């Protein structure tokens, strides 16, 4: 039986050579995947949000043509769509997933969705390894190990269980994604992966870190060795924490970040705090986990970890 695997990314301003390199790595990883089981119907989808110049600053036609040709040679369906607006990451991924609900699915229980960032590059065995891990029905999301900088969040060295999976590259069964309704669109750039992971765990499934599956996540390092954050990241890193705190009904965590933004934050941080407060005043914040999922306070507390401003325990 043919099983479908859909790899999808939401692009915003990623340069063409890097995008093509990423797509090439998907093609190489597909070869390795099919070497194990040849009946994979693979689709690669790009949702184009434009760039800082505007929503119509889309990928050049010749780049799309080159990608189309490359995927045709590799027997991979290619699906490119320009949203003509900056949807944000989660909403874009939802649109991409829904857009192909009829045409590119086998409807099988084992259909797999791979969500990744455009500034990544897959190790050749990445897809095959992640798909193998999803054979375990208790696993809701399988997350790749990032290089050159590993994420410092905790994972269990025996089971691989981890509090949340990074959206830089995560694989999950399509049915799980559909049941959860995809990403919560209130998260624009950051935190949607944490939110999705928590909802998967509240649904009784595991989130697994898979160290054998590597993904190169391009970073520019500052002279200090830390990654250089973009202004967008600076803004949304605070907004995401406030939204997560709100969803988990952790007023103390929300207040901690509001206070931090006020006392220590930059203008962007304070802007994020103001947006959160504005939405709270007008009642347009997303539902809490208890409201949305009907789970208990204890269940939320067992999944939503907050400590000293972070939402996971770190290894270093």
- Which residues make up the interface to another protein (CB under 8 A)? 17-18, 21, 24-25, 27-28, 31-32, 121-125, 145, 147-150, 152, 157-160, 211-212, 214, 216, 218-226, 315-316
Question: Shortest Cβ distance from residue 163 to another protein (Å)?
Answer: 16
CA–CA dist 220, 37 (Å, integer): 37
Q: Which is nearer to another protein, 139 or 273 (CB)?
A: 139
How far is the C-alpha of 272 from the C-alpha of 130, rounded, in Å? 35
Nearer to another protein, 133 or 196 (CB): 133
Choice between 9 and 100, CB closer to another protein: 9
Cα 227 to Cα 222, 238, 298: the distances in Å are: 6, 17, 36
User: Could you tell me which of 295, 289, 299, 298 has the C-alpha nearest to residue 244?
Assistant: 289
Shortest Å, Cβ 301 to another protein:
27
Smallest gap from residue 124 Cβ to another protein (A): 4
Q: Residue 202 corresponds to which tokens in the numbers above? A: 């509240």
* Residue closer to another protein (CB basis): 27 or 97: 27
Q: Given the complex with another protein, which of 216 and 257 has the nearer CB atom?
A: 216
Indicate the helix (H) or strand (E) that contains 260: helix 251-263
Our CB check for another protein shows the closer of 107 and 148 to be 148
Q: Do the strands 77-82 and 169-173 form a parallel or antiparallel pair, or are they unpaired? A: unpaired
- Name the minimum Å distance from CB 158 to another protein: 6
**Which neighbouring-strand residues pair with 161?**
208
**Could you tell me the smallest distance in angstroms from the CB atom of residue 150 to another protein?**
4
SS3 content of the chain, % helix, strand, coil (to 5): 40, 20, 40
In angstroms, give the least distance from the CB of 224 to another protein. 6
> In the sheet that 40-48 helps form, which strands lie side by side, from edge to edge?
77-82, 40-48, 3-11, 112-116, 169-173, 139-147, 206-217, 120-122
Cβ 48 to another protein, closest distance in Å? 21
3-state secondary structure of 171: strand
Nearer CB in complex with another protein: 27/272: 27
120-122 and 77-82 as β-strands: parallel, antiparallel, unpaired?
unpaired
How many CB atoms within 10 Å of residue 31? 13
CB contact at 8 A, 175 and 111:
yes
Q: Which C-beta is closer to another protein: that of 40 or that of 235?
A: 40
């Amino acid at each position: 039986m043919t099983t479908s695997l859909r790899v999808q990314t939401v692009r915003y301003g990623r340069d063409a050579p890097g995008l093509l390199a990423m797509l090439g790595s998907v093609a190489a990883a597909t070869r390795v995947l099919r070497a194990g089981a040849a009946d994979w119907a693979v689709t690669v989808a790009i949702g184009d949000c434009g760039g800082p110049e505007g929503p119509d600053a889309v990928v050049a036609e010749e780049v799309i043509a080159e990608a189309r040709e490359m995927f045709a040679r590799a027997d991979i369906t290619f699906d490119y769509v320009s949203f003509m607006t900056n949807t944000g990451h989660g909403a874009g991924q939802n649109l991409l997933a829904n857009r192909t609900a009829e045409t590119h699915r086998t409807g099988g229980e084992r259909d797999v969705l791979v969500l990744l960032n455009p500034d990544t590059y897959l190790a050749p065995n990445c897809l095959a390894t992640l798909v193998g891990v999803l054979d375990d029905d208790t696993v809701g999301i399988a997350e790749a190990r990032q290089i050159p900088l590993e994420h410092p969040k905790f994972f269990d060295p025996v089971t691989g269980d981890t509090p949340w999976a990074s959206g830089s590259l995560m694989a999950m069964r399509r049915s799980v994604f559909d049941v959860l309704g995809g990403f919560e669109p209130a998260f624009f750039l950051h935190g949607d992966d944490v939110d999705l992971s928590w909802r998967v765990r509240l649904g009784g499934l595991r989130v697994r870190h898979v160290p054998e599956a590597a993904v190169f996540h391009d970073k520019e390092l500052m002279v200090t060795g830390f990654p250089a954050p973009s202004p967008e990241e600076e803004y949304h890193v605070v907004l995401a924490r406030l939204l997560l705190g709100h969803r988990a009904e952790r007023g103390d965590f929300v207040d901690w970040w509001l206070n931090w933004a006020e006392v220590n934050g930059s203008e962007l941080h304070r802007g994020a705090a103001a947006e959160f407060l504005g939405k709270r005043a007008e009642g347009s914040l997303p539902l809490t986990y208890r409201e949305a999922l009907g789970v208990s306070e204890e269940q939320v507390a067992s999944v939503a970890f907050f400590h000293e401003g972070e939402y996971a325990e770190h290894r270093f």
